Structure 1
Amino acid sequence: MTPHQVPGRPEKDPPGRRGRPPEPICETAGAAHRSWLEPVRSRLVASGLTLDDLVSRSGYSKTRLSELLRGKGYYPGWSITYSVVRALDIPVGPLRRLWTAAAVEANKDTDWIRRRIGDVQPLGPDEQPVAHLGLTQAMWRPYTAYAQAFLQTEQRARQVVAETFDILWLTWDEATGSPDTPRHAWQLLRSRVLARAPKRSDGRPDLRAAAFSTAAQAGIADLTERLARIDVLARFFDTITRLPPDQMDVTVLRHLCATDPDAVPGIVGLSPAMTHSLERHARGALDRLRPDTDTDTQE
């Protein structure tokens, strides 16, 4: 028996022990708040730790930790969040970036955020998985182009892509344990983009605004002709969102993002044959609604 072991109690938890999942996240928690809260909750459940274990490891009360895990009440400071992050051995850097973005979403000002982060003595940088770094470098530009097609501004697109890669880092074991890591990453990116994209009344993403930023219409001097062109493109782009999800994604990458056809399979995580089939079926569905002139890509 080790010096710190309690007599009559096993040194390690029995195999198969699992902590009870936390109560559901409150509906008032915003999208950015959930972006870091959901991976933390998943890590807690996977760890097998109970809330009592987390209390002993973090130094915070059960009530406060329960509120944090539910996204209940005031937005949590970085100190208590950091204590949970360290207790669960979660990478600090990506979690802190997600926490900061969610603090902005919760209307916390820059001074508040800076002071809360300053309350914690920083450790050294996290060791980023090499494969995650490689995926980030390879996919940053095409992911951003896809996001911008739906969100319009580059700043919003970059924020969502950065959020995606931070979530992917926090859940890297899950990503690498999936049948296809690039496909897993694409579906995560897609879900984060469409969660923020403007919606039509029927729930479809609204791509019509993309018609205002195409290279072709920007070069038309005559206002009447230009507006007519925008109207045609808006209806065409709106029709794209009626396609099945994978067909829509391939079409957006090819026609709105000017993505090389040979690069599309690697981006969406599908085989070249499957990607070609998706594009062929999408083209057939859209041919009768295609504008008279080519659908030039966004600048």
Structure 2
Amino acid sequence: MTRAAGSGRPLAPRAVGRRGRKPGPISETAGLTHRAWLEPVRDAVRLRDLTLDDLADRSGYSKTRISELLRGNGYYPAWEITFSVIRVLGLPVQPMLRLWAAAAREAHKELGWIRHRIQQVACEPETPPLALRAFSGSVRAAYTAYARMFLLSDARARCAVDETFDLLWLSWETAAGDENLRRHAWHLLRSRVLVRAAHRDGHPDLRAAVFSTGEVHESVPGRVVVLPDLVRRFDAITRLPHDQMDVVVLAELCGLDLAETIPYVTGQSPARCLSLDRYARAALEDRW
């Protein structure tokens, strides 16, 4: 059994002038969640200016296996090698473990295999940074409402939101220093939602969300009636620029306050949100 060793602090960058091979690009065959956790891990490798030689020396695994792991190539990696690499990088284990397990399920790994791999590593309990816990608590409800509009179920919405916060924790070293953390986090949430949303003509498909509106359910008592005008409006919303789309979805479909809540959640000024809303509504009037 592998045991967590050391403080988990990032190792110092390698000496200037030392040469070595960097990881190749992420494989096109990597799944959505697999790619999601690969990106911050690769960012950490780049931030520390480490090569495959460095990672091999410090993790105990061969360059070939580490290269395959960082590219998402071949078989889905076992937790043991994944754990060893993130410990070299000083990344938090708990969010990585959840992301690794979710990606393993996406890769059609059996539950028994996942459990067995996890049991091979003894991990110490970890607590998210206090600032991250406070932030996630303040935006979780709004994030979930937005995600639900595109993903159409509470379970899928919660999954996207949980993944967002795990990725934020995984990259907290750099995210916490961002001058606009809320904006950074919103972009991350939107990317995790839209990558899972149905698409039509190159745009997110929001038409199915019509069934969750009061207009549909109240139009004829006891019956669900699809209103063509409403379907066209929802379709038009997703063809707006993303910042405008976000404001309209949050305000019009999720019922959030445009003056305070939406600016806070999206990391933008109230004036910016009001401007986006005004331009979006003008565009919708032209298209709808």
Give the TM-score taking structure 1 as reference length: 0.87
The offset of 1:260, in angstroms, is: 1.9
Give 3-state SS (helix, strand or coil) of 2:280's partner. Answer: helix
C-alpha contact 1:19 1:48 (8 A) present in aligned 2: no
1:247 counterpart = 2:238? no
RMSD: 2.0
75-84 or 11-20, which deviates more: 11-20
Identify the residue that residue 218 of structure 1 maps to in structure 2. Answer: 217
Write out per-residue CA displacement over residues 91-143 of structure 1, whole angstroms, 9 at most, x where no aligned residue: 000000000100000001211111110011222x2242221111110111100
SS in 1 for 2:225: helix
- Residue 74 (structure 1) aligns with: 75
Partner secondary structure for residue 21 of structure 1: coil
Q: How many percent identity over aligned positions?
A: 54
Confirm whether residue 185 of structure 1 aligns to residue 182 of structure 2. Answer: no
- Deviations, residues 232-256 of structure 1 (Å, cap 9, x unaligned): 2111100111212111100000111
Distance in structure 1 (CA, Å) of the matches to 2:17 and 2:138: 39
Instruction: Tell me the equivalent position of 2:64.
Output: 63
Give the whole-Å Cα distance in 2 for the aligned partners of 1:12 and 1:41: 14
One-letter code aligned to 1:277: S
Partner of 1:275: 273
1:120 matched residue in structure 2: 121
Aligned partners of 2:14 and 2:49 also within 8 Å: no
Inter-partner Cα distance in structure 2 for 1:12 and 1:272: 41
Aligned to 1:134: 134
Matched, 1:233 2:234: no
Q: Which amino acid aligns with 1:14?
A: A
Alignment match, 2:38? 37
Question: C-alpha separation between the residues in 2 aligned to 1:112 and 1:219?
Answer: 48
Deviations 1:154-186 (Å, cap 9, x if unpaired)? 111110111111111111132223231100110
1:98 and 2:96 aligned: no
Assess if the C-alpha contact under 8 Å between 1:149 and 1:207 holds in 2: yes
Greater Rg by CA: 1
Q: 2:180, 2:139 → 1: CA distance? A: 15
The answer to which of 148-157 and 213-222 deviates more is 213-222
Flag the 1:13–1:249 CA change in 2: closer, same or farther, 3 A.
closer
* Correspondence for 1:206: 205
For structure 1, the 5+ residue unaligned runs are 1-10, 291-299
Distance 2:17 2:45 in 1: 14
Rounded Cα–Cα distance in structure 1 between residues aligned with 2:167 and 2:118: 20
Equivalent residue number for residue 150 of structure 1: 150
Q: In the aligned structure 2, how far is the partner of 1:16 from the partner of 1:142?
A: 48
> Does structure 1 retain, via aligned residues, the 8 Å contact 2:182–2:266?
yes
Asked if the contact 2:20–2:53 (Cα under 8 Å) also holds between the matched residues in 1, the reply is no
CA contact (8 A) 1:183 1:268 kept: yes
2:282 maps to which residue?
284
CA distance in 1 between counterparts of 2:69 and 2:153 reads 32
Distance between the aligned counterparts of 1:174 and 1:63, measured in 2?
28
212-221 vs 241-250, which moves further: 212-221
Distance in 1 between residues matched to 2:95 and 2:69, nearest whole Å: 18
Deviation at 1:280, TM superposition (A): 1.4
After superposition, the Cα gap between the structure-2 partners of 1:92 and 1:288, relative to the gap in structure 1 and judged at 3 Å, is same
Tell me how far 1:287 sits from its aligned partner: 3.5
On the 8 A contact 2:96/2:170 being kept in 1, the answer is: yes
Q: How many residues align?
A: 276
| Counterpart residue type for residue 22 of structure 1 | P
- Determine the C-alpha separation between the residues in 2 that align with 1:54 and 1:288: 56
CA distance in 1, matches of 2:265, 2:13: 44
SS in 2 for 1:156: helix
